[in-house]
Structure 1
Amino acid sequence: MKKFLLPLLFFPFLLTAQVDLKISNLSIPSHDILGSTQISGEVTNVGSNKISSFEIVWSEGSSKHSEIFNVDLNPNESYKFTHSEVIETPTLKTYNIRVSANTNGDVNVSNNTLNHSLRSVTFIPKKKVLFEDQTIAANAFGWWSPRGIVRLDEVMNTPSTDSIEYVCVHGNTGTGAFDDAMFHAYYSGMCMGNDFVNVNGWPGNLVDRKAALNYGTVIGSALSHFTTYKNDYGVADIDVFPAYGIGSDGLPAVTVSTALKFAANESNLNLALVITEDSVHNSTDWRYCQMNAYNGGGNGPLATAGVDFTTVGHPVPPSAMYHRHVARNIIPSFYGDTSALPSNIIAGSTYGHSFDSWSVPTGVDPTRLRAIVLLIDPLNGNVLNVNGADVFSSMNVDENSNDFGIEIFPNPLIDRASIKINFALEVGAELKIMDISGRLVHSQSLEPKEGNKYYEINKPDISPGIYTITLNNGGTTYTNKVVFE
């Protein structure tokens, strides 16, 4: 019987790739400041032979830039490279970069090239992440919400997460004596029924409205929600200026203005305002209790620094509950105001907006309120950036007075503004306007007068931007922020 030896090419699975260099990743930012950017990345030897040199070629358009790297790269080892030629980015645009890694004898060229888009901007905005936590307190459907409370508490107690804004949106699917007193029907309904990304239960979490995530049972699991999005491009720096006073209806009200400085040209973006109240507590009202599936320990350990949910009871009595970052209102809507910003936004420019005032309901503690401004892309619902300010810590309040500082209308201002003084002026009171560096740009004296305590300030020759107004009145200094457009 004759034996036949078939050529090896009939059995390709017997072939072993001798030389195979893979470009594993690129370390090029998605956005960078005008000027130049390094071309960096990593290659990996995924073949069976040692590699002694390779070539990195990058291009943007027709020109190519090549450099040889001499290495001693064993199989399964990686090498981080930085090309000696940077990409010049003199104009505001998107640069499409192609990077290839080549070596002699490479049998697999399908893994040799990666493409990358780099957008040049005037500066890198500070990015914050928005957590829209979904929870239920006193309701038959809120049994599992303590898991979200604990996971969120873990995130809040991690120092590196100071760039998160928290909004706890209370849902409610039942009626009766145990209704959640913090229920916000519209906001909760939109988190679960908007046009883009929806949560599907309690506890849950919308993260920048880019992902809907459930809180896991593992300690620290919610922290991954933050780390995934913390380095996203923030589009604009957001400053928030809340003011507390008496509204036109004679009731306490919060008025919030904002100023946004954009790093690149943008178009058609929306703004929304969320008002939260922190550490909401009512020790005797059972609408502030917490249903608790973890009582008794049958569903595992679960505790914050203040409450051990395995021993505190079911439901958790209201005396033991301090509800964090409770959503009190969202203005004007979940999707934001379509006319708050111009349709075409110019890079490096600052734009201001004042939201409708919000009357503070009876029972809400104004000293625990926070104003949070959301910059929203209406095309996909994503929150591009967010920032907040505590209503009271953002204001300079005379502790010996029942009124609050100085109020500016409108804010931002274009030509002139009215300043309301909520206290008695003394002779020699002086108003000053300073820029962010502390440089004095305008001053004027204010004389005491009877009745209406409104004073007009004509806009001096001041460049657009954010300024501090201070009023020295008999040794007491009051401050507020104003945006000049």
Structure 2
Amino acid sequence: MKKLFTLLAMTAFVAGANAQLFNDDFESYAAGDYIGVQSDVWTTWSGAVGGAEDAQVVTNQANSGMNSIYFSSPATGNGGPQDVILPFGQVYTEGLFTFTTSMRVANNKQGYFNFQAETTPGITWTIDVTASNGIVIVSESAVTIAAGAYTPEEWFEITIEANLTLNLWKLYIDGELTGTFSNGVNQIASADIFPVAGATFWVDDVSFDWEEVTVPAFNLSAVDLSGIGSLGGPEYSPTAIVRNNGMDEITSFDIDLTYAGGTFSQTITDINLAAGEYFEVAMGDGLILDGGLQTITVEVSNINGMVADDYSDDDIYVLTSNAIPAAVGKRAVVEEGTGTWCQYCPRGAVTMERMSNLYGDSYVGIAVHNNDPMAVAVYDTGLNLNAFPAGKVDRGPQVGDGQFEQGWLQRMQVAPKAYVSLGAQYDEVTRLLEVVVDAEMVETVTGNYRFGLAITEDGVTGVGPGWAQVNFFSGGSTEMGGYEDLPNPVPASMMVYDHVARAILPDFSGAQDIYTVEYTAGETYGFNFSITLPVGWDIDELNLVGMFYAPNNRIDNAYGIDLDGAIANEWYDSGNFVGLTKLPEPEANIKLYPNPSTGLSFVQIDLETAENVSVDIRSIDGRLIASRDYGVLATTSRLPVNTENYAAGIYMVQIKVGNTQKVLKLLVD
């Protein structure tokens, strides 16, 4: 016989009834029962009960009584096959909905459930709830919105309280409030309990309830805290967000942010915040997160000079951060593939900008364009993406833009072999930019470690074909950095592109075979790059990214800085250039004149002993233009360099004397 669990009508709650809508402690089942078969409420994703998707009652674990239900899946694959649905009887879009369950998660395993927004599963996910490694994470579209702690191999209680009328959600762990959030999908229809890959967990004491909420006349809610990332180390500048969730106008309030025993307070006056309107409050600079789970609270008070408003439950916003400690000196690179033709690429641009604003100098973002006027063929080909927007983090596997932050956080925990820095000098007349990239070794390493340099530009605009941005998000209800309010396509006159890759030097793979023996811990190694900047590039918007590549082609470490900052750093001649192997300098006196050259210059060498002499001419990017071996010379020699057919620019003149060499720059007008 099926167990009967009555879903009370909503009208009973409007009338003020207090009976719980649903409660199942599994004590009325026998061991081995499939709950979908025995219950008139529980079902499965497909609707087929009593088989692989269904959950069975077990007696080896229980939070109360003797029984619970058990979920498990292999460590690899897509999870399942169990997939149990608890329908809530209708779609809830208003009122206060409360869901509670007890869960026990095995050590080094996971537990998981989600809320579905529609009565038919699979249309819209409301939230995901994952318990893993002692942390419960509530996420929406893979973005963490609340968190709390639990102890593996022990029972704990999870409560999700959703005030759907005010869009104010709360996470409780064992009765303690650990997170407050607003949800993009503010409706609930069912719970889906599913063992993701590597899951082993038990569920007991499942209940849900609903009650009516009347919009208060006088109510200010603390609803969000932005500007705080998931990495320990950077200095964050948090912004508290409040909303008038009542009907009366709000004219003043006090607000406190409390973290790690310290409180930052603001008094806001002379405002006219109407019903439904939001207000942002900058809560200071320099908030640095400690590692692990830490609680940050925002509280509003003294609203319109009153002791309390009409609804105090939403006066406090709680954020439980789980900051990941960064490896010392590490900076990770996200190379994003994008294009003006790509309808979803505005989403990637929004992600890149958000991460740049959030993580500052620790984050290095490069937008590599494909098949549009900003494309750099050698960079686009080297990145070798097959979907857009997508990219690679430190030259790892291709990932979608929704995985940029997760992949970046993982790489930020990997200790680098070297600390990277760079310096530059720039000639405003010739537009010659010279950059030296340094690697200060933390460990002694051998192998094909290499140097690279990327140049990016912000504020890029253009006119003509290919400059308008195709925009899937136009007119949509999902916030997408303002693109939802722009047309499709966005006209070129309205578009400004940031983080645009302008060059990758010497190529995508980096400068090869420079230091062929080893890089020694404690020593600093450098490499010089030079490029004549095209006239169309705005030097005030340029950024330089020095990179140190590992033998496995991953980026070991990087350093990004704007051009002014690079010029302020020390530049020096490392003796290493593209196409040139570092050799000691000769003792011979060597001159190059006239310089600049107008058609013919000379290399003058004063030799004290006979040596073999050769001269190579290379372009600024390392291409060999001309070469001549003069054989053995023993006296002062004057060697011609014919530049009549050379394009104007900077050239490297490499003079080899025996086992030594000297490299001089030659300007051709």
Please report the TM-score for the alignment, with normalisation by the length of structure 1. 0.50
User: 2:546 matched to 1:373?
Assistant: yes
Work out which of the residue numbers 142, 146, 170 in structure 1 matches 2:346. Answer: 146
Contact 2:337–2:389 under 8 Å retained in 1 = yes
Q: Can you list the C-alpha shifts for 1:414-464, whole angstroms capped at 9, x where unaligned? A: 879x9xxxxxxxxxxxxxxxxxxxxxxxxxxxxxxxxxxxxxxxxxxxxxx
Map of 1:17-32 to 2, 5 A cutoff? none
Map of 1:252-331 to 2, 5 A cutoff? 252-268=431-447, 269-282=449-462, 284-297=463-476, 300-304=477-481, 308-331=482-505
Code of the residue aligned with 2:375 in structure 1: it is: F
RMSD of aligned Cα (Å): 3.8
Code of the residue aligned with 2:562 in structure 1: it is: D
SS in 1 for 2:420: strand
Contact 2:352–2:365 under 8 Å retained in 1 = no
Contact 2:546–2:559 under 8 Å retained in 1 = yes
Please name the residue that 1:168 is paired with: 367
* Compared CA separation, residues 320 and 225, structure 1 to 2 (3 A): farther
User: 2:556 matched to 1:384?
Assistant: yes
In the alignment, the residues of structure 2 paired with residue 164 and residue 145 of structure 1 have an alpha-carbon distance, to the nearest angstrom, of: 20
Please name the residue that 1:212 is paired with: 398
Q: CA deviation at 1:327?
A: 0.7
* Compared CA separation, residues 348 and 125, structure 1 to 2 (3 A): farther
Contact 2:436–2:574 under 8 Å retained in 1 = no
Q: Can you list the C-alpha shifts for 1:179-217, whole angstroms capped at 9, x where unaligned? A: x2101122111111xxxxxx321101211112321123x
In the alignment, the residues of structure 2 paired with residue 381 and residue 321 of structure 1 have an alpha-carbon distance, to the nearest angstrom, of: 34
SS in 2 for 1:363: coil
Please name the residue that 1:126 is paired with: 329
Code of the residue aligned with 1:275 in structure 2: it is: I
Please name the residue that 2:375 is paired with: 183
* Compared CA separation, residues 125 and 259, structure 1 to 2 (3 A): farther
* Compared CA separation, residues 24 and 147, structure 1 to 2 (3 A): closer
Code of the residue aligned with 1:183 in structure 2: it is: A
Q: Can you list the C-alpha shifts for 1:199-254, whole angstroms capped at 9, x where unaligned? A: 321101211112321123xxxx64323222211111111111122116xxx84121
* Compared CA separation, residues 408 and 234, structure 1 to 2 (3 A): closer
Q: CA deviation at 1:155?
A: 1.4
* Compared CA separation, residues 262 and 150, structure 1 to 2 (3 A): same
In the alignment, the residues of structure 2 paired with residue 131 and residue 294 of structure 1 have an alpha-carbon distance, to the nearest angstrom, of: 23
SS in 1 for 2:493: helix
Q: Can you list the C-alpha shifts for 1:330-362, whole angstroms capped at 9, x where unaligned? A: 11121211223343111111111112x112112
In the alignment, the residues of structure 2 paired with residue 316 and residue 241 of structure 1 have an alpha-carbon distance, to the nearest angstrom, of: 38
In the alignment, the residues of structure 2 paired with residue 215 and residue 396 of structure 1 have an alpha-carbon distance, to the nearest angstrom, of: 34
Code of the residue aligned with 1:271 in structure 2: it is: F
Please name the residue that 1:237 is paired with: 419
* Compared CA separation, residues 353 and 125, structure 1 to 2 (3 A): farther
How many pairs does the alignment contain? 276
Code of the residue aligned with 2:561 in structure 1: it is: A
Please name the residue that 1:364 is paired with: 537
In the alignment, the residues of structure 2 paired with residue 161 and residue 224 of structure 1 have an alpha-carbon distance, to the nearest angstrom, of: 16
Give aligned-pair identity as a percent: 24
Code of the residue aligned with 1:163 in structure 2: it is: S
Map of 1:413-428 to 2, 5 A cutoff? none
In the alignment, the residues of structure 1 paired with residue 59 and residue 473 of structure 2 have an alpha-carbon distance, to the nearest angstrom, of: 58
Contact 1:168–1:327 under 8 Å retained in 2 = yes
Contact 1:242–1:390 under 8 Å retained in 2 = no
In the alignment, the residues of structure 2 paired with residue 345 and residue 147 of structure 1 have an alpha-carbon distance, to the nearest angstrom, of: 40
Please name the residue that 1:155 is paired with: 355
In the alignment, the residues of structure 2 paired with residue 407 and residue 265 of structure 1 have an alpha-carbon distance, to the nearest angstrom, of: 25
**Which structure 1 residue ranges, 5 or more long, are not aligned?**
1-13, 28-43, 49-74, 77-123, 173-179, 193-198, 398-405, 419-485
Q: Can you list the C-alpha shifts for 1:46-69, whole angstroms capped at 9, x where unaligned? A: 599xxxxxxxxxxxxxxxxxxxxx
In the alignment, the residues of structure 2 paired with residue 255 and residue 301 of structure 1 have an alpha-carbon distance, to the nearest angstrom, of: 44
Q: CA deviation at 1:410?
A: 5.5
Contact 1:303–1:309 under 8 Å retained in 2 = yes
Please name the residue that 1:79 is paired with: none
SS in 2 for 1:154: helix
Q: CA deviation at 1:24?
A: 5.3
Code of the residue aligned with 1:143 in structure 2: it is: Q
Code of the residue aligned with 2:567 in structure 1: it is: M
Contact 1:258–1:352 under 8 Å retained in 2 = yes
Code of the residue aligned with 1:301 in structure 2: it is: T
Code of the residue aligned with 2:520 in structure 1: it is: I
Code of the residue aligned with 1:185 in structure 2: it is: A
In the alignment, the residues of structure 2 paired with residue 146 and residue 392 of structure 1 have an alpha-carbon distance, to the nearest angstrom, of: 29
Q: CA deviation at 1:316?
A: 0.7
Code of the residue aligned with 2:545 in structure 1: it is: I
Please name the residue that 2:339 is paired with: 136
SS in 1 for 2:374: coil
Please name the residue that 1:338 is paired with: 512
In the alignment, the residues of structure 2 paired with residue 343 and residue 411 of structure 1 have an alpha-carbon distance, to the nearest angstrom, of: 17
Contact 1:295–1:310 under 8 Å retained in 2 = yes
* Compared CA separation, residues 326 and 340, structure 1 to 2 (3 A): farther
In the alignment, the residues of structure 2 paired with residue 381 and residue 281 of structure 1 have an alpha-carbon distance, to the nearest angstrom, of: 33
Q: CA deviation at 1:309?
A: 1.6
Q: CA deviation at 1:293?
A: 1.5
* Compared CA separation, residues 148 and 15, structure 1 to 2 (3 A): closer
In the alignment, the residues of structure 1 paired with residue 444 and residue 574 of structure 2 have an alpha-carbon distance, to the nearest angstrom, of: 26
Q: Can you list the C-alpha shifts for 1:287-343, whole angstroms capped at 9, x where unaligned? A: 33211122222xx52432xxx222311211122221111111111121211223343
In the alignment, the residues of structure 2 paired with residue 408 and residue 222 of structure 1 have an alpha-carbon distance, to the nearest angstrom, of: 35
Q: CA deviation at 1:366?
A: 1.6
- Looking at both structures, which has the greater relative contact order when contacts are Cα pairs under 8 Å and sequence separation is at least 6? 1
Contact 1:272–1:374 under 8 Å retained in 2 = yes
Please name the residue that 2:567 is paired with: 395
SS in 1 for 2:437: strand
Code of the residue aligned with 2:491 in structure 1: it is: P
Please name the residue that 1:351 is paired with: 525
In the alignment, the residues of structure 2 paired with residue 407 and residue 128 of structure 1 have an alpha-carbon distance, to the nearest angstrom, of: 21
In the alignment, the residues of structure 1 paired with residue 393 and residue 568 of structure 2 have an alpha-carbon distance, to the nearest angstrom, of: 33
Please name the residue that 2:236 is paired with: none
SS in 1 for 2:557: strand
In the alignment, the residues of structure 2 paired with residue 411 and residue 319 of structure 1 have an alpha-carbon distance, to the nearest angstrom, of: 45
SS in 1 for 2:425: strand
**Which structure 2 residue ranges, 5 or more long, are not aligned?**
1-57, 62-105, 110-132, 134-150, 156-200, 203-326, 577-581, 592-669
Contact 1:136–1:171 under 8 Å retained in 2 = yes
In the alignment, the residues of structure 1 paired with residue 333 and residue 545 of structure 2 have an alpha-carbon distance, to the nearest angstrom, of: 10
In the alignment, the residues of structure 1 paired with residue 431 and residue 539 of structure 2 have an alpha-carbon distance, to the nearest angstrom, of: 9
